[in-house]
Structure 1
Amino acid sequence: MNGQPTAQARTDARIHDLLDEATAEHPDAAAVADATGRWTYRELTAWSHAADAWLQAQGIGHGDRVLVQLASTRELVALLYGAARRGAVLVPVNTGMKDYHLRAVVENSEPSLVVVDGAAVSRVSALAGQVTVLGLDEVWPAVTDLRDKEARGDGAPVHADDLAVLVYTSGSTAAPKAVVCPHGRMVFATEAINLELGYRPDDVVFCRFPISWDYGLYKVLLTAAGRSEIVLADGESDLVLLRRIRETGATVVPIVPSLATMICALAEREPRQDSTVRMFTNTGAALPKPTADGLRTAFPGSEVVIQFGQTECKRVSVLPPDQQDARPESVGRPLPGTRAFTVDDDGNTLGPWQTGEIVVEGPHVMPGYWRAPEQTARAFRPSPDGGLRLHTGDFGHVDEDGYLYYEGRRDDMFKHKGVRMSTTEIEAAATDVPGVRAAAVLPPAPGRDLAVFAEGGIDPHVLLRELSLRLEPAKVPGVSRVVDELPLTAHGKHDRKQLLSLLEGTTP
């Protein structure tokens, strides 16, 4: 990962091309494993063709949406690739999504077919209207029969510009919002990321995240691009997490800060062991330095790679490990073949070290949001070269070498006592305090002071005193709370609504 890669990611491929190319090169190598077994690339390809044939038999055609609310298993991976071959659009939703939001997603995506866990068929049917809802326990025997017959779909044309997936995000809007993800842009993002991360045929990627989240979804594609194996561990118990990383021979472990904290806590309770892990890749939120150091200690020889991104372009930047000491506050350089810069309120490009909104250009910028023209127009704007610019809503700056520095979301930035600041910088200062595993900050509001929440073993007053040694006076919170565990969203980010409830004393 020294120097900017010179290879190019493609824009003209389909996501199932990644699978087919891996199968052509390494047909008998392990491709995907879950709690019940493992498939080789040859087997996964055969299952994906059977899934394609099954979807065709259900009347699914080009552009039809297929909504799946399933655990992340081998079967779901086969359905992902099978839908891609069919030219259908997969709509993966989290198994924990409540009926209130699921109904809205069904109304918004208008699927032609819904596949769920068998026990959920009657419940989901009640909210899906006239849409056919099938249980996986009913679907898979039929797919298996087609697999035994070596069935394939009719080979209808699928193009790089065709939609492959709708990814519903957990943004701040009340209505569901799906990022439109065409084949070619997904393949470009996958291959550009892999030019930086360098997945290898001998890698085993231990994926704790559901395929309904783009972090998990792209791990499926990245392992195909790298001819690697993915271990789907979304359903694994927290208590066996460390043991499973070791048992599977994992070499790459994608993390978010909350997962990293858990891994470190588990590792502290056991004698240090030899490790096969060579790389942790972080995204979702800033990883506190003590946590990154804890991972390196628990897994000798491993690197911790910092990444920054949004579903709307998948990944913005990656920080090579050899730059982490020189640029400890950076979230990396833009992916190969892409550009990231900052603009002022009038859209003018800013120079190095000038704070503004982060804007991204490149073939990885998705076309917009599904059936949301106003939101699309705000975030996805024309660029001078005829492509698209993604206005991220994130603020930061770049240095003279083009490395990006994240300062916070628009919603995270605020003025307090006349000083402009962000929750991110205060949280970073809090996690620098000994005894603090993780921290979250709530901006001030009418009748409510700036508040910090800390997870760990520290007195609230000591935390404020320590923060006063690290921050200018206006940035020191007026309220401090210490909790056993910070509430998180399904994507591992701070759950601000629950924090506010804790602050106001409306939860136990």
Structure 2
Amino acid sequence: MRVEEFLENSARLDGGKTALVAGDKRFSYAEFDTAASRLASSLAGGGIVRGDRVLVFMNNCWEAAISLFAILKAGATAVPVNPSTKADKLAYVIGNCEAAGILTQGKLLPVVTEARTIEPRHLFVASTTFRGAGPGEGVADFETCLGGSGTNVDHRGIDVDLALLIYTSGSTGRPKGVMMTHRNVEAAATSITAYLDNTADDIILNVLPLAFDYGLYQLLMAVKLGATIVLEASFAFPQAIFDRIREEGVTGFPLVPTMAAMILQMRDLEPDFLPSLRYITNTAAALPPAHIARLRELFPRATVYSMYGLTECKRCTYLPPAELDRRPGSVGIAIPNTEAFVVDDDGQRVPPGVSGELVIRGPHVMQGYWRNDEATNKMLRPGPNPWEKVLYTGDLFRTDEEGFLYFVGRKDDIIKTRGEKVAPKEVETVLHAHPGIAEAVVIGLPDPVLGQAIAALVVLSDSALTERDIIKHCAAHLEDFMVPRLIEFRDALPKTDTGKVSRRLAAETLEAAE
């Protein structure tokens, strides 16, 4: 099945149902599908053809949701780009994927103008954000495009065509474009909605950027099921989000660890203050067990799903909620229709308790990186069958005797100190267990004696806490070589565009301060 069929099928089954809520705009499935078809027709009229790459450079707005499906209805490949992206990076993405078009907002047009080192065939702008100014020459007015006939585009695409090109955050070097076919997307969406027990009755609130695959899939999965998606631009004002959850009767709330930390720092929240929530999910980075326990206290009716994934296959594992008390530090088992196993440096499976690289096998594994064979060959390697490739994640894991997986750390993140190997995640788990610490990230700094010294950047929820207190806490729970030698206090931790704490940026801030 192609992804645009998610929308077409849901519109056919229950066209009057609310599909999308964004700000003060509400779209039924019939309205959503019609708007996407009209925009697709305008894209095709502007020269967009099957296989073209078209950027969606917008925040979480109704225009972005319609644009994504319109691109697919036109037979093209959607390339979602975070609206906080600067001109130089945007220029790289435009050039790298040879974009045939860009759909953006008026307020972002200056960034697009600066970034257009090559000319896409068409530029579509949501004029509602122009604040009275009209689109410039060579720019199509988004609203006008939605007023067309909406004739379906006969692109003759199939499900092995490229649906999405999602650029990684680029923590090392240039960002890489992850290639996902319609078949990849359907496999991932089907698996995730199965273990979350999603139905058409769900109302999912999404504050995560649609350019972030975790946020994007909230839209795709909701539309596939005929559920309702509520889009919000950010989590900057949590109380406003909580009000929205109450107003809409939201049942599903995807978050990342930084959002969990914000919630847990709020002192005036009473348990069960959002009774409509059926489930909460987390990915991007593992939630510390202490945070999971406190979230469960605040949301006693909500099932908490701790998950692990990466852009190259969307989702890898989830912890069945019944196992939360028994294995709070685990990211669980492989998602349905997926195989996850741990191997050594020679690619041989390792026994329980032994750390190695996690390998993922399944229909949701990416096709590779766009025009980057070297990076592709590092991540995709021959599988058990001669026709398949499996994904080497670059992450270190171990399993217990029953096969449940535990994240150890990124292979590149391992700190070597005093001749010992230390996984930053293990130290961070201990730090997060202290009630006075809201967030923490651990890195290794060059040291002439130790090789690397363990350093921690910490955001406090208790301002009375001292460096001595934290080191004493760590010494009580960690082996001596794992105790941080340096504690730095911060008002906030450095994060990527998707809100994930960045170990690389944290290291750069410490090194710059020396």
Letter in 2 for 1:202: D
CA distance in 1, matches of 2:262, 2:279: 17
Question: What secondary structure, in the 3-state scheme, does the structure 2 residue paired with 1:462 have?
Answer: helix
How far is 1:123 from its partner? 4.2
Q: Look up the SS of the partner of 2:141 in the other structure.
A: helix
Aligned counterparts of 2:310 and 2:236: Cα–Cα separation in 1: 28
Encode CA deviations 1:273-314: one digit per residue, 9 max, x unaligned. Answer: 352111110001111233223322222311211010111000
Stretch moving more, 302-311 or 220-229: 220-229
Give structure 1 stretches of 5+ with no counterpart.
1-12
Distance 2:98 2:302 in 1: 45
Which residue pairs with 1:316 in the alignment? 316
In structure 1, C-alpha distance between the alignment counterparts of 2:328 and 2:157, rounded to whole Å: 43
Give, in whole Å, the separation in 1 of the partners of 2:199 and 2:354. Answer: 38
What displacement does 1:433 show?
Answer: 1.7
Deviation at 1:235, TM superposition (A): 4.3
After superposition, residues 133-148 of structure 1 pair within 5 angstroms as: 133-137=123-127, 138-146=140-148
Is this contact kept in 2: 1:241–1:263, CA < 8 A? no
Distance 1:238 1:403, change over 3 A: same
Q: Deviations over 1:384-417 (max 9, x none)?
A: 2121110000001223433221111112213211
Residue correspondence of structure 1 range 48-59 to structure 2 within 5 A: 48-59=36-47
In 2, are the aligned partners of 1:362 and 1:388 still within 8 Å (CA)?
A: no
* Distance (whole Å) between structure 2 residues aligned to residue 229 and residue 21 of structure 1: 14
Q: How do residues 286-305 of structure 1 correspond to structure 2 at under 5 angstroms?
A: 286-305=286-305
Shift of 1:153: 2.8
What's the counterpart of residue 335 of structure 2? Answer: 335
- C-alpha deviation, 1:237, in angstroms: 4.2
Q: Does 1:69 align with 2:57?
A: yes
SS in structure 2 opposite 1:347?
coil
Question: Per the alignment, do residues 400 and 51 of structure 1 end up closer, same or farther by CA in structure 2, a change over 3 Å counting?
Answer: farther
Q: Which amino acid aligns with 1:314?
A: K
- State the shift of 1:364 in Å: 0.7
Are 1:422 and 2:423 an aligned pair? yes
Check the 8 A contact 1:459/1:482 in 2, yes or no: no
List per-residue Cα deviations over 1:135-170 (Å, max 9, x = no partner).
221432222211xx4x22332211110001110111
- TM-score using structure 2 length: 0.91
Q: Are the aligned partners of 1:120 and 1:135 in contact in 2 as well (CA < 8 Å)? A: no
Q: State the distance in 2 between where 1:187 and 1:80 align.
A: 15
- Contact residue 124 and residue 142 of structure 2 kept, 8 A: no
Q: How does 1:103-502 map to 2 (within 5 A)?
A: 103-128=91-116, 129-131=118-120, 132-137=122-127, 138-146=140-148, 149=149, 151-235=150-234, 237-239=236-238, 240-266=240-266, 268-272=267-271, 273=273, 275-385=275-385, 386-446=387-447, 449-456=453-460, 457=462, 458-502=465-509
Q: Partner letter of residue 450 of structure 1?
A: I
2:414–2:421 contact (8 Å) kept in structure 1: yes
In the alignment, the residues of structure 2 paired with residue 36 and residue 98 of structure 1 have an alpha-carbon distance, to the nearest angstrom, of: 28
Q: Aligned-pair RMSD on alpha carbons? A: 1.8
User: 1:48 is aligned with what amino acid?
Assistant: A
Q: Any idea what the Cα deviations from partners look like across 1:180-211, whole Å, max 9, x if unmatched?
A: 01101110000011111111222111101111
d(CA) in 1 for partners of 2:399 and 2:234? 39
Name the SS for the 1:444 alignment partner. Answer: strand
Residue matched to 1:99: 87
Q: Distance in 2 between matches of 1:171 and 1:498?
A: 12
- SS class of match (2:438): strand
- Deviation at 1:502? 4.2
> Does the C-alpha gap of structure 1 residues 298 and 64 become closer, same or farther in structure 2, counting only changes over 3 Å?
same
Identity %: 33
State the 1:376 CA deviation: 0.2
SS across alignment from 2:381: strand
The 3 A distance-change label for structure 1 pair 353 and 497 is closer
Query: What is the CA deviation profile of residues 6-48 of structure 1, one whole-angstrom value per residue up to 9, with x for unaligned ones?
Result: xxxxxxx111122222223322221111113111111111111
Q: Is the 8 A contact 1:242 1:263 kept in 2?
A: no
- Whether the 8 Å CA contact 1:51–1:82 is kept in 2: the answer is yes
What is the Cα deviation at residue 423 of structure 1?
0.6
Q: Deviations over 1:318-337 (max 9, x none)?
A: 11111112222210111111
The amino acid across from 1:130 in the alignment is E
Query: What is the identity, as a one-letter code, of the residue corresponding to 1:412?
Result: D
Partner AA of 2:287 in structure 1 = L
Between the aligned partners of 1:271 and 1:421, the Cα distance in structure 2 is 38
What code does the residue aligned with 2:374 have?
E
Please state how far the C-alpha of 1:254 moved relative to its aligned partner: 0.2
> Structure 1 runs of 4+ off > 4 angstroms?
none
1:47 paired residue number:
35
Match for 2:57: what amino acid?
Q
| Segment drifting more, 319-328 vs 287-296 | 287-296
TM-score normalised per structure 1:
0.92
Give the CA deviation at 1:271. Answer: 4.8
Deviations 1:99-136 (A, max 9, x none): 12111111101101112222333542343132243422
- The one-letter code matched in structure 2 to 1:455 is V
Equivalent residue letter for 1:445: P
**Any idea what SS the aligned residue of 2:445 has?**
coil
Q: Cα distance, 1:450 vs. partner?
A: 1.2
Paired residue total = 491
Displacement, 1:245?
Answer: 2.4
Q: CA deviation at 1:422?
A: 0.6
Distance 2:76 2:216 in 1: 16
* Superposition deviation, residue 504 in structure 1: 4.4
State how far apart, in whole Å, the 2-side matches of 1:496 and 1:288 are. 16
**Does the CA contact (< 8 Å) of 1:356 and 1:397 recur in 2?**
yes
Cα deviation, residue 244, structure 1: 2.3
What's the counterpart of residue 85 of structure 1? 73
Distance 2:217 2:383 in 1: 26
Shift of 1:501: 4.7
Gapped regions of structure 2 (runs ≥ 5): 128-139
Q: What are the Cα deviations for residues 364-385 of structure 1, in whole angstroms up to 9, with x where unaligned?
A: 1011000101000110112121
Residues 353 and 171 of structure 1: CA distance in aligned 2, closer, same or farther (over 3 Å): farther
What is the one-letter code of the residue matched to 2:146? T
Question: Alignment partner of 2:352: what SS?
Answer: coil
| Structure-1 separation of matches of 2:87 and 2:329 | 41
